[in-house]
Amino acid sequence: MTAAVQNYHRRMQRVLDHIDRHLDDDLDLDVLSAVAAFSKFHFHRQFTATFGVSTHRYIQLARMKRASYRLAYRDDERVTDIAMDAGYEAPDAFARAFRQRFGQSPLSFRQSPDWEPWLAAFGPLDDARCKLMQKIYSADDVTIRDVPTIKVAIMEHRGDPATLGTTIQRFIAWRKAAGPHPRISPTFNVWRSERCPALIADYSVDLCAGTDKPIDAHGGQIKAGEIPGGRCAVLRVVGNTDNLEPAALYLYHDWLPASGKEARDFPIYCQRLSLFPEVPEHEAVAELFLPLK
């Protein structure tokens, strides 16, 4: 890639970052073209040519994604407030747009989300982000740490990964009702299967909250466990932390063979350091831990 192309991509990346940070602001063509330092007479076509969606469509999807996260995971927020923040002047207009996109009303989605159409709806947004956010890792990005054993409360997700969002909802509800708050307790995901196993019933991941206090089993949904201590290769990922598979594959395909080290008998896991929508999506941070012998 030439220096000129890299510079062009950096200018376009600035626009995506600006949109993420200013979803509540006026994001018209004058503003966005100025962020990229491109002429406003050409910018809308440059954006569409680069990302495969128009600026208007991209902003709509980004606002709707944040709104849907707030509906699913923040039951203390009013639908009216979420609608206004998504750029709609009235809840009924937001409800029509939401139903058209996801096949459910906002209230129905909040109570019982249908995740498959939700995932499909954001395909264009995810594709657009991936065009410039493809991270190339190197050995310099990996550190070796001796980590302590961490006692955790575990909620297991077993089966179709498309329904993981429902398990996350239950996990958040438990933390609000009885569990340790994310501000004082670390959050982990432990992957016990492939990302896309041959049988979707074999998909397996543990949602964990670090705690050394007695655990409320919450009707049998929560159990006590631990993440064992020891040496780990740690790779920090910033931005697209919904899909950590590229980072994991780098560790297994490139870093591990070159390091001469061997993986320990415990699954790869991550710690969620900051999460969307608490921070703009491009500022989300996760650390991936590969346990070593």
DSSP 179: S
What CATH number is attached to the domain comprising 258? Answer: 3.20.80.10
Same domain, 66 and 160: no
Identify whether residues 153 and 282 lie together within a single domain: yes
| Same domain? 39 vs 177 | no
Distance (Å, whole) CA 82 – CA 97 = 13
Residues 6+ apart with CB under 8 A from 204: 156, 157, 158, 191, 192, 193
For 92-147, how does the pLDDT look when each residue is reduced to its tens digit (9 = 90+)?
Answer: 999 999 999 999 999 999 999 998 899 889 988 988 888 776 678 999 999 999 99
Domain boundary residue among 83, 108, 132?
132
- Do 255 and 147 lie in one domain? The reply is yes
Question: What confidence score (pLDDT) does residue 58 get?
Answer: 95
Spatial separation of the C-alpha atoms in residues 252 and 195, rounded to whole Å: 14
> Angle at which helices 55-73 and 91-102 pack, to 10 degrees?
100
The reply to whether 226 and 125 lie within a common domain is no
Domain finish residue from 132, 159, 190: 132
Distance of alpha carbon 62 from alpha carbon 118, whole angstroms? 13
d(CA 227, CA 190): 9
pLDDT of residue 217: 76
> Do both 249 and 105 map to the same domain?
no
pTM: 0.85
159 shares a domain with 253: yes
Which CATH number covers residue 123?
1.10.10.60
**pLDDT given for residue 182 in this prediction:** 79
Q: Are residues 103 and 187 in the same domain?
A: no
> Which of 77, 106, 132 is the last residue before a domain boundary?
132
Same domain, 189 and 243: yes
CA distance 69 to 186: 20
Identify whether residues 286 and 166 lie together within a single domain.
yes
Pair type for strands 187-191 and 269-274: antiparallel
Q: Give the range of the structural domain holding residue 20, as residue numbers without chain letter.
A: 3-132
**Residues 154/211, Cβ–Cβ less than 8 Å:** no
Pair 143, 255 in one domain: yes
Task: Report the 10 Å Cβ neighbour count for 293.
Answer: 9
DSSP secondary-structure letter at 222? -
What pLDDT tens digit does each residue of the chain (293 aa) get?
Answer: 789 988 999 999 999 999 999 999 999 999 999 999 999 999 999 999 999 999 999 999 999 999 999 999 988 899 999 999 998 988 999 999 999 999 999 999 999 999 889 988 998 898 888 877 667 899 999 999 999 999 999 999 999 988 999 999 999 989 888 777 878 899 999 999 988 888 999 999 999 999 988 887 777 899 999 999 999 999 999 987 888 999 999 999 999 999 999 999 999 999 999 998 889 888 999 999 999 99
User: Number of structural domains, the chain?
Assistant: 2
Residues 92 and 45 in one domain: yes
